[in-house]
Amino acid sequence: MPWRTVADGAPRGRTRTRRRAVRRVAPPPLYAGCALFLDIDGTLLDLAPTPDRVRVDADVATLLPALWLRLGGAVALITGRAMADAERLFPGVALPIAGQHGLERRAADGSIGRHERSAPGFARLRRELERFAARHEGLLLEDKGATLAMHYRQAPGLASHVHRTLRAQLAAATGVAAWHLQPGKGILEITPDGHDKGTAIREYMMEQPFRGRVPVFVGDDRTDEYGFGAVTHLGGWAIKVGAGGTCARFRLADVAAVRRWLTAALVPTESPASETA
């Protein structure tokens, strides 16, 4: 079958990390030896009905460069948004960014790598989904360049219909056998195999200034489970924001809690080595 839905944080054919309900455990304080990876929507910024309606306040725009300085440049944004879209949210904040779940990535040295979509049936699939979205109020199809995302946060009653329709459309499409469906919060994305937030983090961890540090990833939904699995495998900290089953060891209650935890990292501690325990 040319489609499959990823619902447990790992596609078939790759090592799965079990998602489970865990008690809320606050993460240790960040320290100078960490490499910090941050999701955006639902983690740094509160969710909004549509991607273009999120609110970026001055506090978080100031927080990111301060963290970059505190951690010696080892801070990156890991997002499902297109990289250009993430840059528009934080103008003047030139952090490394992995966009579209790692399909495009700006390294710390400023170099950019992109994995362009090449499936011959992709344009036709996009047109079919555009027509589907136009028939249903509250649906929004977002073409990110390398992936397609159907947003149904404004029409939650259509969730099952959206999932069934996209499965059928992807199954009927030709030339997109290596693509899968990736669910999130009020969103269902069509993405190619082989690239996710976990692979993006692993790529950063092979580069300076991330190499040799303790990787820390903070995220809030199913797409972030890839990143949680990657940092856990590398001996780092996986931090889930909000409720829900997860493979992450640590939790923060909401976006406000994430910001408080990050802000606390700007105050130097006397014995950072003890914080890794």
Q: What are the catalytic residues?
A: 39
Helices (H), 43-138: 58-70, 83-89, 122-134
Q: State the DSSP H helix or E strand holding residue 191, giving kind and residue range, or none if neither.
A: strand 187-192
Q: What are the structure tokens assigned to 33, written together?
A: 């030896």
What is the CA angle 88-48-225, rounded to 5? Answer: 85
Residue corresponding to tokens 């309900």: 21
CA–centroid distance for 182 within its chain: 11
